[in-house]
Amino acid sequence: MTKAHVNKLDNQDLSALLDGEQPLSNEEIALQDTATLGRYALIGDVMRAESEDAFVLDISDSVAKALESEPVYADFSQKQDAQVAATGTDNVVAFNWRKPVAQLAIAASVAMFAIVGVQTLPQGEDSPANEIPILQSTPLTGVASPVSYSSEPALENAEQGLRELQQQRIGALVLEHQRQARIAYSLEKAHTKAQAEEEKN
Amino acid sequence: MKVITFILSLVILAPAYASDETPAKELLLNMAEAVHNRNFDASFVVVKGKSMEPYRWLHAKQGDTELEHLSLLNGAGLEMVRVDDQVTYFEPQSAPYSIATDSIAGPIPEVLFKDIERLSSEYDFVLGGKGRIAGRAAQLVRIESKDEFKFNYWLWIDAESSLLLKSAYVNHDGEMLEQLQLTHISVTEEPAPLLLEMLNRDFPTPLPRDAVATEQTNAASNNWQIGWLPDGFSLLKSDRHKLDLNNELTDYYLYSDGFVEVSVFVQRPLPGRRPSGSLSSGATTIYVHNAGSFDVSVVGNIPAMTAKAIAESVARPL
């Protein structure tokens, strides 16, 4: 079991669904009551730093009021706007790195993005790619995998868990490749330089 | 008479053959020079199959200092800032960090803005047709792999300004796998204010080059034997480290042929018998090979067949 798996959120499925990372299934939605769904949507909006007037969901006023009296974790009100206007030039990049909450939320979803962005190989008729089996990255809803023929929910869960592990791993590998590739160019230059010097000696 | 015709045709044809390669290279060199010396503000999209990534790309030359800013505009985002020989990456997952290098590792292969001559042993440079891209007259230059183990790369270069207008990874059936298309570019006399602002900012100090080199000392190159790689690929680094996202330990190998990078990961196998297989996103292929007592994963902008062959060639050293 990896650490990431243990730290899984209770309602990760719902969270992923609202982030557009999981296919919509009616049962899942039906399981959630309206209040929960609304709350998750609100959390999503706040984390994505959407402005107050962009809350399109009918969130009750009481929630908004309650939020006002909460300590401020991520302040997107005018107070900050004024601050930005005054010290705005401090920021080289358009990104606001001072939002730890948003950062956390994004971190959690990045792993998923890496997978969702990956598609299976296009299959040509006679192409050699045909010989290569294609990994099932996201489970197809409604299609039974061999294991789920068994009525044992435990087995099904195990299969699901494994798939998640593999998805996590592939996401981690792709990210790592991207990062390592950044130093490739300078490494290569250092290598060719060293080689040239060796040849000289 | 026949002999004379033959000789004449040779004389006429010879420069035609020779000139096919040189103008292509010249165009690329002109492009590199233009990209390094002009002040421009461009937007482009990268299309990978069904997904799309928009970027904004700013570049300026202020005196002898080059300033560059590349940012991914969708999702969590990614910002890359270059001030001469220092590139800083701002990512949502981690603290910003700098690398001492003179080019940004973005969606465009870095070597294209540098010394493309080093690719000559593995790739051919061929002049293609003319066309209209992003509202401008463009000349196609094809970088063709000499064997079938790598993708080809096509570039459309602005006939007037020599700037890049479009590029694509193309497989050997001529299908475009991953396309990069400029949607807008403006070339200005003066550098953009945002870039000039970067001159007054402090960025994280990069690791000294020596430190990067000494990483080689704890190399993992003896742990596994990688039996096969396409010609031209050489090992850049190898080590054993933990992956950021899931804390898994991996033996890691980074290879490059000067144009594309290939990562090889050797890891503890996942529980249960997961079948081997591949995934792809645009030109990027991920091949996961289940070798029984260990898993090999190969990631890079290479055809799936190549990734499969590399993954299956990994064995325990004798």
Question: From first to last of its 318 residues, what are the pLDDT tens digits of chain B?
Answer: 566 665 555 555 544 444 456 788 999 999 999 999 999 999 999 998 888 999 999 999 988 899 999 999 988 888 999 998 899 999 887 889 999 888 898 899 988 988 888 899 999 999 999 999 988 899 999 999 999 999 999 999 999 889 999 999 999 999 999 999 999 888 888 898 889 988 888 888 887 665 555 555 455 567 889 999 999 999 988 888 888 888 889 999 999 998 999 999 999 988 877 788 888 888 999 999 988 889 999 999 999 999 999 999 999 887
- The confidence score (pLDDT) of residue A89 equals 44
Residues A6-64: tens digit of each pLDDT: 444 456 777 777 777 666 666 666 666 777 777 877 787 777 765 555 545 555 676 77
Instruction: Write out pLDDT tens, residues A73-82.
Output: 545 454 444 4
Cβ-nearest to B236 among A4, A119, A187: A187
- Measured CA distances, B19 to B15, B267, B295 (Å): 6, 49, 48
The reported pLDDT for the residue numbered A103 is: 45
Any chain B CB within 8 A of the CB of A141? no
For residue B282, the distance in angstroms to the closest alpha carbon of chain A comes to 8
Please give, rounded to a whole number of angstroms, the shortest distance from the CA of B193 to a CA of chain A: 11
User: Please, which residues have CB within 8 angstroms of residue A173's CB and are 6 or more apart in sequence?
Assistant: B243, B263, B265, B286, B297, B299
In chain A, residues 64-93 whose CB comes closer than 8 Å to chain B: 89, 92-93
Please report the ipTM that was assigned to this predicted complex: 0.86
**Per-residue pLDDT tens digits for A120-178:** 444 444 444 445 666 655 443 333 334 434 445 666 777 777 778 888 888 899 989 98
Is residue A166 within 8 A of residue B240, CB to CB? The reply is no
Determine the residue among B93, B98, B233 to mutate to test chain A binding: the one whose Cβ has the most chain A Cβ atoms within 10 Å.
B93
Give how far A117 is from chain B: nearest CA, Å. Answer: 7
**Residues of B in Cβ contact (< 8 Å) with A119:** 49-51, 279-281
Rg (CA), chain A: 23
Of B75, B236, B297, the CB nearest to A188: B236
A163 → chain B, closest CA residue? B274
Tell me the pTM.
Answer: 0.70
Residue B243 and residue B252: Cα distance in Å, rounded? 10
Residue B4: per-residue pLDDT: 62
